[in-house]
């Protein structure tokens, strides 16, 4: 299996690379600076510079690109660009999503970022990531969008365990919604190796 990771030098991207390599998957990094590539194989490009010929040889491509601050408005056009180049190709697109766009219940009338107490500083990010998911849902490509739990912890331990849920925010028996970056990476690579949620948004938590 051959995969590529866009934003492979980022926090989650690097963990997905590491997890995939531990399973002997052939990984290519897509990075803006060759010096920051965590793999020997790499493509130097930002997400908007990618072309069909860059992605068509891979079984799957993971988009782990992050935009922050004023750049959050780039989420939607970046996904629109990926839809354009993946259209008509067999390569599968998997996206590292956010928790803010998860629904609060099965009525799907309110998202987490729309709830009282949600940090104002994160709302623009969550809203734009949610809009990018809507772009995928309307597309004709093979995609999967993976949202983490509400508490997405980079420093938390790797347990090797996780629970897959749907588009709603879910909790463990202690009313916690949490997962580590490392266990999220396991869930992502599991979905790459054994596709069970094509053209769906799923969420993962402990």
pLDDT digits (tens, 9 = 90+) for 22-70: 999 999 999 999 999 999 999 999 999 999 999 999 999 999 999 999 9
Residue 18 vs residues 39, 150, 204: alpha-carbon distances, Å: 9, 23, 19
On whether the pTM is more than 0.85, the answer is: yes
The 3-state DSSP class for residue 78 equals helix
The 3 state secondary structure assigned to 2-40 is EEEEECCCCHHHHHHHHHHHHCCCEEEEEECCHHHCCCC
d(CA 130, CA 164): 19
d(CA 159, CA 120): 32
Q: Which residues of the chain have pLDDT under 70?
A: none
């Amino acid at each position: 299996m051959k995969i590529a990771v866009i934003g492979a030098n980022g926090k989650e991207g690097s963990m997905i690379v590491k997890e995939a390599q531990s399973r002997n998957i052939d990984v290519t990094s897509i990075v803006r600076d060759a010096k920051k590539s965590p793999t020997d194989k790499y493509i130097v490009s930002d997400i908007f510079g990618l072309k069909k010929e860059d992605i068509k040889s891979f079984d799957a491509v993971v988009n782990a690109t992050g935009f922050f601050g004023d750049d959050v408005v780039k989420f939607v056009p970046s996904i629109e660009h990926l839809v354009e180049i993946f259209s008509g190709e067999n390569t599968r697109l998997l996206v590292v999503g956010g928790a803010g766009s998860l629904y609060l219940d099965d009525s799907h009338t309110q998202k987490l970022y729309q709830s009282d107490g949600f940090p104002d500083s994160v709302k623009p990010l969550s809203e734009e990531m949610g809009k990018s998911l809507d772009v995928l849902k309307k597309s004709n490509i093979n995609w999967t969008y993976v949202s983490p739990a509400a508490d997405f912890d980079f420093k938390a331990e790797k347990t090797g365990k996780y629970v897959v849920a749907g588009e709603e925010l879910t909790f463990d028996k202690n009313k916690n919604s949490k997962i580590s970056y490392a266990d999220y990476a396991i869930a992502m690579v599991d979905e790459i190796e054994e596709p069970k949620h094509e053209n769906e948004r799923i969420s993962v938590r402990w």
